[in-house]
A and B are shown apart, each in its own frame.
Chain A
Amino acid sequence: MASEKIIKNLLKASSVIILLIFAGMAYSMIKGAIPAFKEFGLFGFIFSTDWNPTEGNESYGALPFVAGTVITSLLALVICFPLAFSTSLFIAEYYRKTKIATMLSTLVDLLAGVPSIVYGLWGFYTIRPLIAELGYSGQGYGIFTSGLILAIMIIPYATSISNEIISMVPTELKEAAYSLGATRMEVIFNVILPNARSGLVAGYILALGRALGETMAVTMLIGNANIIPTGLFSPGNTMASVIANQFGEADGLKLSSLIAIGLLLFAVTAAVNAIGKVIIRKYA
């Protein structure tokens, strides 16, 4: 039928929009980043630690921000893991299908609804003074403070997948282990974990993808120093937060460098997310 064909083609045509957005994004960002890559060289830009906006003496490099992003995100993942895994066990194993599990998972869902800037504010006024009080860093800014807030922000993303994976582990396997006299903890480590491993890994990779791109909360807590972090409580800067911070007064070579950092961030998050998705599709 003619009308059917028209509709089918219309549906297909609409999907081209996604292709266009992608091609347009890649084109615009590469075009915007070229002046910076030309001036400093692709690897020169990525591996340089300079960030000097003085006119006539301009020099920009991405390494401090790449380092800051990777370190804060991995730290967030390390802090997030025990919290998210325990929460998943609580919801999907210990108190499976009870009222208290529903309540807990609703509260965890609410964590995902808190805007990034509100996390930043809360971290700034409650976590940061606490860390300053403990005496680890003068003002309480730094890698650890940002990593901690990031960890809280990515918990709902990590748990949403692991809840599902853990509850999907076949009951017969668990019952078989119990009938051999295994304790609940032994069932968790010898039956649930091996069965759910790849799904859990995928969930944490996707959570990592979230952490890499977080902007506002990190900007407010990391201290915005354009250096490679020297320790857990050292200030630093991330790719996302340097864009947000320095964009206001940027033009020319600086703008191009910020776009180049955006391009790097885009490539890294796309790669991390793609890996996570592939693992999920393969095993789950």
Chain B
Amino acid sequence: METKALIGEKDNSNWRELKNKLFFGTVVVLATLTISPILLIVYTLLSKGLKQINFDFFLKVAPDTLQAMTAVRNGEIIPGGIANGITGTLFMVLIASLMAIPVSIVIGIFLYENQGKKYANLIRSLTDILQGVPSVVLGLIAYIWIVQGVTKGFSALAGSVALAIMMLPLIIRSTEETMKMIPISIKEAGAALGVPYHKIILRVMIPSGFSGLMTGILLSISRVLGETAPLMLTTLGSTTVNFNITKPTSAVPLQIWEFYNNPNMIDLVWSSSLFLMAFVLTLNIIAKRISMRYS
């Protein structure tokens, strides 16, 4: 095809050169267009949310509608903050991590140790499918299991279970990938010295893969921090700070949803979104730093 074009009688190299340039221009324009949303989002959040960020924002619970309305009418910033959401998010993510991290690391090591075996391949495929399950479906599951079955009402535990199921596949796969990167000679050196198998795992594999494991854990936490839908179905939200796992609890994304539905609290929407995004991105950047420093 190409050769025909080249040996043809008519010289169309000018046209081909022009097409080439036009295509390159299109690629550059579209690539620029692709990254513009992230810049616009960050700009919007900063320009609209920064004015509400102060000490009270982190230390006080959300105001009621009347307080917010009065403040908006007088042209002041809305009093109060998102302390109930911040504590709730941290609390639920902590419980979810306690449930998900140890189990996922063990399963990840199991997958690494059983490369190519049928049963391990099945587990790996199921893990991949679990990673693709929409978060709102996991919310439904946690509702059926925990809200209906255990706590008989919306609870922090139900939210944590939904988040934990989301974290599992992410940490399992990152553990397996990390283990694959560790040179096998290190393992063999341990075995040659007569070190028992469990000590090789605890003293050799996990320490030498530590940065990889950390990266996976941090990325999985940053993924679940912003989840809203599963929490709407499981923890409902709360106007006070709560550390009881059987009671409804607030979370930052849930508060954003509440503020969004309340026309008096619009200013708080932007500041809490700004906070949530800064939190998520900071974790992301730390995770990338760790993985870059050690790899």
Contact = CB atoms under 8 A, between A and B. Distances in A.
B129 A273 contact: yes
A43 to B, nearest CB: 22
Contacts of B193: none
B192 interface: no
A132 interface: no
Interface string B24-40: 10111111011101111
Interface stretch (B50-58, B74-82, B227-235): B227-235
Nearest to B283: A113
Interface string B212-253: 000000000010011111001100000000000000000001
Contact of B129 (A8, A11, A270): A270
Given A113-B222, A117-B256, A259-B144, A213 B233 contact: no
B107 A3 contact: no
A134 interface: no
B277 to A, nearest CB: 6
Contacts of A193: none
B65 interface: no
A28 interface: yes
Interface stretch (A55-63, A83-91, A227-235): A83-91
B134 A86 contact: no
Interface residues of A, number: 86
Contacts of B136: 213, 215, 240, 243-244, 262, 265
- Main DSSP-derived SS at the B contact region: helix
B8 to A, nearest CB: 12
A116 B229 contact: yes
Taking chain A's interface residues, is the majority helix, strand, or loop, or is none over half, making it mixed? helix
A152 B126 contact: no
Nearest to A240: B136
A94 B228 CA distance: 38
Contacts of B24: 94, 184-185
B263 to A, nearest CB: 13
Contacts of A29: 137, 140-141, 144
A194 to B, nearest CB: 12
A172 interface: no
Contact of B229 (A11, A125, A209, A216): A216
B103 A270 contact: no
A97 B227 CA distance: 34
Interface string B253-264: 100110010000
Given A15-B107, A244-B136, A22 B273 contact: no
Assign chain B's interface to a size class.
Answer: 35 or more
A265 B125 CA distance: 19
A212 B30 contact: no
A205 to B, nearest CB: 11
Contacts of B23: 184-185, 188
Given A21-B130, A117-B257, A273-B128, A107 B6 contact: no
Interface of A: 1, 3-4, 6-8, 10-12, 14-15, 17-19, 21-22, 24-25, 28-29, 32, 82-84, 86-87, 89-91, 94, 104, 107-111, 113-122, 124-126, 152, 155, 177, 180-186, 188, 190, 206, 209-210, 212-216, 220, 240, 243-244, 247-248, 258-259, 262, 265-266, 269-270, 272-274, 277
Contacts of A273: 128-129, 131-132
A120 B257 CA distance: 10
Interface stretch (B12-20, B90-98, B181-189): B12-20
Contact of B145 (A28, A82, A104, A277): A28
Contact of B128 (A83, A87, A190, A277): A277
A11 B113 contact: yes
B88 to A, nearest CB: 15
B44 interface: yes
Contacts of B151: none
B28 A117 contact: no
A135 to B, nearest CB: 22
B280 interface: yes
Contacts of B227: 115-116
A247 B144 contact: no
Taking each of B227, B228, B270, B277, which has the highest tally of chain A beta carbons within 10 Å of its own beta carbon?
A: B228
A89 B253 CA distance: 35
